[in-house]
Amino acid sequence: MESSSIKPEDGSMVYVALISMVAALGGLLFGYDTAVISGSIGFLKTHFDLSAMQMGWAASSALVGCILGAGFAGVLSDRLGRRRVLIISAILFTISAVGSAIPRNLTQFIIARMLGGVGVGAASMLSPLYIAEIAPARVRGRLVSLNQLAIVFGMLVVYFVNSRIAGVGNEEWNVSLGWRWMFGSETLPAIIFWAMLYFVPESPRWLTKQGRSSEALAILSSIGGYRHAEAELKDIEETIAQERGSILDLLKPGIRIALIIGIALAILQQITGINTVIYYAPEIFKSAGLQSTKAINDTVIVGAVNMIFTIVAIWLVDKLGRKPLLMLAAAGMGISLTLLGSAFHFDKTEGPWILLFILTYVASFATAMGSVVWVVMSEIFPTKIRGRAMSIATVVLWISCFLVSQFFPLMLERLGGEVFFVYAGICGIAFVFFAIFVPETKRKSLEEIERMFLKRQRAGSED
């Protein structure tokens, strides 16, 4: 079904927007949970007397849970439904928030953070996937990008919360209690997400796959009107009928290309260095000579820029397209990291330069690498195996994120600011990959995108 045939008056865009916003709360918790470590890691290091490697483990331990959560969420969501697994992730967020605030030793802290990581891993793939499966093609990019907006909003909120908590007491108070309040503050948004999920419907594409077409039709009618819903349901059923639903389908020529693209996007999003900024921005600022409180306050500015340019991405993704935005982002990130590394190399860390180059890097990332990567990953896989396929890509993403987060403190300790030259080179590789391999999916329905890859599959089998 062509996206141009969808008429706003035929259904309720308010309805689909509200559903998308609830699902995007998973992104908000994703951002909150991953960025809460940035303001607390210095105090945590002092409280538990951590080495550089232990500090990396404290920051990245949640990512081990993310890997597990993303791995299991795909299989579970294909069997139990997208909504039920999102509810499980909300429960884990809540348990982790409380557990991370009250540990008596590093081991207890690590366990609590891993539990939260499982929730983050599940939500990180399911929130954009769910939104993609309910959204009309003409606005799917924007609605899926709401998830990334929620992620960066969650980061901005927790940067602000961390800053306010850090300002309550002195360094000694923060080392003793402040970091506990930072982690415990996640409890409230986690409970809100948990409660709101009971008011959203299941994915109509998952329902169709389960043979529950009447339920799917009712949801599609609420989104696009009855006439469009009938046509879209027929298109979904016909496309699903061509799928076997086996994970081995991912190894077929056309779909294999989709898998390679999804995995490459996942890796490149992380190894271009974003979490070196998200997790360690205060430490980078302190390495440039700032006091810890000032460093945390500057991190709030980083979060604000991230959010502003994510809004820019939402405005452009369905107009300019996925591919041009990704190329633009890679170029901007590479230039910014080169300048950041040069500032450290030539000892030009005084004044606004470090903050300025970090802000241009974050702005470039937010323009596409943050939101558009999740959009493309949620679009390119067949319905019957979308959950499992996206799980594979998301697991790879979190493994990449873990490796970057685990070893960055050591790299910063050994290489200093010149470590950013390494990430700048990777951005150059990303630019070339986007230019050659990433297809444009703007304004195509999920079924049209699937048929595009299936044509490649048939062409490959004929060869």
Whether 319 is covered by a domain: the verdict is yes
What would the pLDDT profile of 288-297 be if each residue is shown by its tens digit?
Answer: 555 555 555 6
Whether 213 is covered by a domain: the verdict is no
What pLDDT is attached to residue 50? 83
- With CA atoms as reference, report the closest residue to 329 among 148, 166, 458, 74: 148
What would the pLDDT profile of 230-244 be if each residue is shown by its tens digit?
Answer: 888 988 888 787 766
Whether 215 is covered by a domain: the verdict is no
Task: Give the percent of the chain with pLDDT over 90.
Answer: 31
E strand spans, 362-452: none
Residue 163's domain spans which residues?
12-200+242-462
What would the pLDDT profile of 3-26 be if each residue is shown by its tens digit?
Answer: 333 344 456 788 888 999 999 998
Residue 34 structure tokens: 């991953």
Which residue carries 């993303």 as its tokens? Answer: 70
E strand spans, 173-220: none
Give the chain's mean pLDDT. 84
For position 317, which CATH number holds?
1.20.1250.20
What pLDDT is attached to residue 295? 55
Whether 247 is covered by a domain: the verdict is yes
Under the banding of pLDDT at 50, 70 and 90, the label for residue 264 is: very high
DSSP state of 178: I
Range of lowest pLDDT (93-102, 274-283, 307-316, 429-438): 274-283
Whether 164 is covered by a domain: the verdict is yes
Per-residue pLDDT at 283 exceeds 50: yes
Residue 342 structure tokens: 């040069």
What pLDDT is attached to residue 6? 38
Whether 101 is covered by a domain: the verdict is yes
Give the Cα-Cα-Cα angle 224, 228, 229 (nearest 5 degrees).
Answer: 75
Residue 353 CA to residue 348 CA, distance in Å, equals: 7
Cβ contacts of residue 308 below 8 Å, gap of 6+?
A: 363, 366
Whether 230 is covered by a domain: the verdict is no
What pLDDT is attached to residue 455? 73
Number of domains in the chain: 1
What pLDDT is attached to residue 222? 87
Whether 89 is covered by a domain: the verdict is yes
Q: What is the mean pLDDT of residues 104-119?
A: 92
Give the Cα-Cα-Cα angle 25, 30, 35 (nearest 5 degrees).
Answer: 130
What would the pLDDT profile of 56-87 be if each residue is shown by its tens digit?
Answer: 788 778 888 888 998 889 889 988 999 999 99
Residue 104 CA to residue 347 CA, distance in Å, equals: 40
